[in-house]
Structure 1
Amino acid sequence: MLVRRAILALAGLALALSPVSAQQTMRVGSTPTGIPFTFLDTASNQIQGVMVDIVTAIGKDAGFEVKIEPMQFSTLISSLTSSRIDLIAAAMYITDARKQVVDFSEPIYTYGDGLFVPKTDTKAYKDLADLKGMVVGVQLGTAFVEPLQKSGLFAEVKLYDTIPDIMRDVNAGRIKAGFADGPIVAYNLQQGRFPEVHLVKGYKPMVVGSVGIGTRKTDPDLLKRVNVALAKLKADGTIKKILVKWGLEE
């Protein structure tokens, strides 16, 4: 009996140490409407994009698989802190306010907000003051909401769940202007979406920030693994290749 128990124990230990069982699966929160960072590819019905490629490459180097969980941008942090997901991979700025709640990897890509208006509006907007009195739109949960609301310049700051929703209302003339992640707006327009909208080239972004992978504050070891892998991927050119693949530059 003792011998049998010893054999079973050794077998269990071998299974536990096997590469298959050691491979973890991390649930990764991503948004379906943040092209080219994250978006739903209708052909495959899978979330794809820059951040999906990057977190997948990080997982491969760090020894874990990823399972992408689609969700609204505004629910990403609460989903992470409540352990519905294990990582955030989306177009989410690393901000001081967010760092009070979750941890972030080293920065991956830096950009600012873009201002978009109807194509018929050719005014050379430079900053928020040039849009005084307008009804404008912004995505709920983004770093752009607070400065717009606190400016006191606008007749109304309408909150939207997704960037395409804002662009759709600008396209239809329901609001005068929208603010969102510059690369996401540009990519949508390059793809021929929202033909009655244009990105204001001379506008100076009100917020410039960097995106990173989000982790729980209770998972410092996971954050370390992510950063070690990310450093390798930056050094060997993998991150640059992913950015170029999706039409972005470092």
Structure 2
Amino acid sequence: MKLRMLTLVSTLTLTALGAHAGDLTVGVTTTGVPFTFVDTATQQPTGAMVDLAAAIAEDIGDTPKFAVTQFSALIPALETGKIDLISAGMFATDKRKEVVDFSDTVYSYGDAMFVAADDDTAYQIDDLAGEVVGAQIGTTFADKLQAKGIFKEVKLYDSLVDIMRDVKLGRIKAGFGDKPIIAYQVAQTPALGVHLVDGYTPMGIGNVALAVSKENPELLAKVNASIAAMKDSGELTEIFAKYGL
């Protein structure tokens, strides 16, 4: 594993120098800590899904080239050929499967509710009927909240940080998002002024997978073969464990 990680560092360094033959352009987002984010020291994309994509690229003989993209624009970028692969904290939903193909599952988790740090109420979702809540645009959480039809408004945001700001300031009652991402950010930055609601029952459990164009079944087969090998060797578990997942 240490040898593989040294190789990944070298690969990411080469990526920063420019495009090469055999590039694999991978779409990532900067708002998905610890799945995908930008290292402030190096200004390079990093995170569990970045390491995973780099390991897959190495395994299939390509050089990863990371394209930082807003979450809601990842699938359109894949459909238009701007990227070859999506590697983010994205759930493989039936709706998304209509337009892209997903790899085998690499990680599973549910949503979390977060409220202002001084609010200790053990809310469940129906307790917020008639309130204004927030979720990130393009996520399954936003779709599920809107489908419930019990809220005064479901405000949509570009990033979780924006939702947390409005929860802290009292502009909205609660926010919803990826549990591991929120837990990591709150633990790292208490000044965000929010906390996870203890005992909250998720709206559902989703399976994270990488996505490829429906026009590229060969790449999908290669990605799945790499994932299978990493599951067998334990490397997949090690990659996620490195980021507390």
With the length of structure 1 as denominator, give the TM-score of the two structures: 0.88
4+ residue segments displaced more than 6 Å: none
* 1:152 partner letter: G
Which among 34, 40, 43 is matched to residue 36 of structure 1? 34
Aligned-residue Cα RMSD (Å) equals: 1.2
Task: Work out whether residues 38 and 51 of structure 1, in 8 Å CA contact, stay in contact via their aligned partners in 2.
Answer: yes
> What does residue 4 of structure 1 align with?
none
Task: Work out whether residues 164 and 193 of structure 2, in 8 Å CA contact, stay in contact via their aligned partners in 1.
Answer: no
> Which ranges of structure 2 fall in alignment gaps of 5 or more residues?
1-19
Which among 174, 178, 188 is matched to residue 177 of structure 1? 174
* 2:166 partner letter: D
> What does residue 157 of structure 2 align with?
160
Q: Give 1:194 shift.
A: 3.8
Which among 83, 101, 107 is matched to residue 99 of structure 2? 101
Counterparts of residues 4-153 of structure 1 (less than 5 Å) = 24-126=22-124, 128-153=125-150
- Percent identical pairs in the alignment equals 50
Q: Give 1:45 shift.
A: 0.8
Q: Give 1:195 shift.
A: 4.2
With the length of structure 2 as denominator, give the TM-score of the two structures: 0.90
* 78-87 or 191-200, larger mean C-alpha shift: 191-200
Q: Over residues 49-90 of structure 1, what are the superposed CA-to-partner deviations in whole Å (9 max), with x where a residue is unaligned?
A: 010000111111111111000010000000000000000000
Task: Work out whether residues 23 and 63 of structure 2, in 8 Å CA contact, stay in contact via their aligned partners in 1.
Answer: yes
Q: Give 1:40 shift.
A: 1.3
Query: Greater CA radius of gyration, 1 or 2?
Result: 1
Corresponding pairs, count: 226
> What does residue 220 of structure 1 align with?
217
Task: Work out whether residues 31 and 39 of structure 1, in 8 Å CA contact, stay in contact via their aligned partners in 2.
Answer: yes
CA distance in 1, matches of 2:191, 2:110: 21
SS in 2 for 1:113: strand
* 1:41 partner letter: D
* 1:164 partner letter: V
